[in-house]
Amino acid sequence: MSADHSSMKLVATLGGIAVFSGLLLSLTYEITKPMIAKNESEALEAAVFEVLPGAVTRENYLLDDVGLQKVGEGSSREANLYAGINEAGERVGFALSGEARGYADVVRVLYGYNPETQQVVGLRVLSSNETPGLGDRIEKDPAFQENFTALDASLAHEITTVKNGEKTEPWQIDGISGATVSSKAIGKALRDSTHEWVPQLHAALEGSLE
């Protein structure tokens, strides 16, 4: 058998393996897609209740240039914020998302916002690849999470991350020693998200929810 023929046979074999692998990955994705979506939905619902104290159910909304529109389950429209409802049927606030570049990757968060007090009232890290033991303390450190029980988000001042122990204002986030970049990523995620969504949300709330 010639060297050229052997090379062509090897290339054909490798090509066949690549095509088969691609088809297998595609099939696996299609099979697992509904399960992944279900898991993400359940994780999101749990996060909404975590960042909005007192909420026992949620309502999905789409906030855009048209205003605030309720999105039903299974709708083709994708919600971008969620209202938390307490046992009395009262709205306790909205959960919104934000993201910013951290030390290792993009950090995605969900946070609770109370329009009446204009405060961030809870925060949950949805995804992060920050350094274990250092950057991932943004998810686990109770003292850091305490920043988000009543963080001023009125836009009168910018949300800012300061060095650990130097917080003096209600719009400041007391950072984590040794995890400065990760702490600042949380501050930027909240600052950017509130600047984008809070004015639109308040403008929409001047009307009635659909």
Is residue 139 within 8 Å of residue 133, measured between CB atoms?
A: no
End-to-end CA distance of the chain: 74
* Residue with more model confidence, 179 or 36: 179
Burial of 181 (0-12, 13-18, 19+ CB in 10 A): middle
Q: What is the pLDDT of residues 65-90, one digit of tens each?
A: 888 889 876 665 788 999 999 999 99
Question: What's the rounded Cα separation, in Å, for the pair 81 and 97?
Answer: 7
pLDDT for 38 equals 47
pTM of the model: 0.77
Which residue, 91, 14, 99, 102, is CA-closest to 57?
Answer: 91
pLDDT digits (tens, 9 = 90+) for 14-25: 767 777 777 777
In this prediction, residue 37 carries a pLDDT of 46
Q: Which pLDDT band, with edges at 50, 70 and 90, does 132 fall under? A: low
Is pLDDT at 193 greater than 50 in this prediction?
A: yes
More confident of the two residues 11 and 13 = 13
